[in-house]
Amino acid sequence: MTRLALNGGPEAAAGLDIPRWPQCTDTSKEYVLDALESEKWCRIIDGADWVDRFESEFADYHDAEHAIAVSNGTVAIELALRASGLQPGDEVLVPAYTFIATASAVACMGGVPKFVDVDPNTFNIDPESVRENVTDRTVGIVGVHFGGYPMDMDELLPIVEEHGLFLIEDSAHAQGSEWRGQRVGTFGDFGTFSFQQSKSLPAGEGGIVVTDDDVLAEEASLVHNIGRPVGAGYKHTMLASNYRLPELQGALLCSQLEKLPDENRRRQENEERLVSELDVIDGIHTLRRDDRITNRGYCVYNFRYDADAFDGLSRDRFLEALRAEGVPASPGYGLPLYKQPAFSREQLGTLVPPDTEIPVNRHLHLPGVEEIMETNVRLSHTALLAEGETINAIPRAIRKIQENVDQLLES
């Protein structure tokens, strides 16, 4: 018997070599210093070009016709909703397992988020649950490519077309992901991305919307710049807010984008190593394999834990033991969105027109989401950047726990 680290034994994953994140490279310093010394820190100043450059390079990277950079990923969704024509009181379907911004953006723009289930095999919105929840009040869907794993576009797009819905792809996790050779974010009306510090393309904060529709792109550009075209002076053609991205962040993002393709290749290679080892461990369930996913971006990597294969050891106790072995794992989001107090009828009622029908979210029971809440184990994308073969320390630590689970049950 080997003593578990939780009980004072050596860490099984002591050699796991995960790089720091985010990374300030020499190129990052060069580009940001250039923007700093230019003294043109706002994108609408004559001669400012870093945000323009990033928009062009990101659009090329994601095979999109247009890209509009904004201050963060949350307002990217808000911008896309407004440009898509969302009206106060409109109903929008959103997955119930995601970061709150996917749904709060709908509410903050006056819409009603209606929560649908997710597939625990992919962590993505369940197309069957979408079909069951579309009503005559539904105007659109905000779906999430969760963890960078693309949604099933083959199933989702026919529903969108049949009911005349808009589709916004929340791609905050999915810089570089592809479905059947096409970059995500380009299937729906808009794709939105986040560049918050934890993301694989980080700038502290920041976001972007992409679209192939010229009319939607023009609308989004107006909305993001206080209702005026960039460079139009003080002529405002609509009432809107200021979502602009500063030049310093545009410069930083240009440098980070240059290294993203190589980092994603490394993550994908490490994911393959990791999955090949995890798949042979009884009670560990990795994401469903899908040949239609032709490239991957990453933010987190999720797998599910079956307590029965560990003699009934709870998922939370398993995580405690795994972290003690040196694996930085977590359970992910602590609550389904429908259990968040922010989505109570009282809260939502302050944002929508009087007499709008608001669901009683606390009564929801979505089995896919609740299975994930009990079984999820999450790793950051940074774990998939582990050097060399050190990624194998993760399954080694899991096997150690499984083989010595009696130590945890006794304690």
Q: Reduce the DSSP state of residue 113 to 3 states and report it.
A: strand
- Residue 180 to residue 128: CA distance in whole angstroms: 21
Active site residue 378: no
**What tokens does 280 get?**
């042979």
The residue from 53, 163, 228, 266 that is catalytic is 228
DSSP bridge pairs for 121: none
Active site residue 183: no
Catalytic pick among 114, 183, 199, 285: 199
Q: Are 172 and 201 in contact (CB under 8 A)?
A: no
Does the annotation mark 196 as catalytic?
A: yes
Q: Is 402 part of the annotated catalytic residue set?
A: no
Which of helix, strand or coil describes residue 144? strand
Told to judge if 190 belongs to the known catalytic residues of this protein, a careful annotator would answer: no
- 244 included as an active-site residue: yes
- State how far the Cα of 208 lies from the Cα of 171, in Å rounded to an integer: 10
CA distance 347 to 333: 21
Catalytic residue among 90, 126, 170, 212: 170
Q: Is 58 a catalytic residue?
A: no
Structural contact between residues 189 and 84, judged by C-beta atoms closer than 8 angstroms:
yes
Report d(CA 389, CA 401) in Å as an integer.
20
Q: Is 228 a catalytic residue?
A: yes
Q: How far apart are CA 256 and CA 61, in angstroms?
A: 13
Measured on CA atoms in the order 240, 174, 133, 188, is the torsion positive or negative?
Answer: positive
CA end-to-end span of the chain: 15
Catalytic option among 26, 46, 234, 363: 234
Which helix (H) or strand (E) covers residue 130, if one does? helix 127-133
Give the Cβ contact number of residue 178 at 10 Å: 19
Give the DSSP per-residue string, 168-228: EEE-TT-TT-EETTEETTSSSSEEEEE--TTSSS--SS-EEEEES-HHHHHHHHHHHBTTS
- Kindly name the residue from 43, 145, 173, 381 that is annotated as catalytic: 173
Active-site entry in 43, 145, 196, 298: 196
Q: What pairs with residue 177 in β-bridges?
A: none
Beta bridge pairs of residue 95:
116
Q: Is the dihedral of CA 175, 176, 178, 184 positive or negative?
A: positive
DSSP letter string, 68-108: EEES-HHHHHHHHHHHTT--TT-EEEEESSS-THHHHHHHH
Single out the catalytic residue among 62, 244, 285, 304.
Answer: 244
Instruction: Give Cα 175 to chain centroid, integer Å.
Output: 9
Residue tagged active-site, from 99, 115, 305, 310: 99
Any idea which residues carry the catalytic annotation?
99, 170, 173, 196, 199, 228, 234, 244
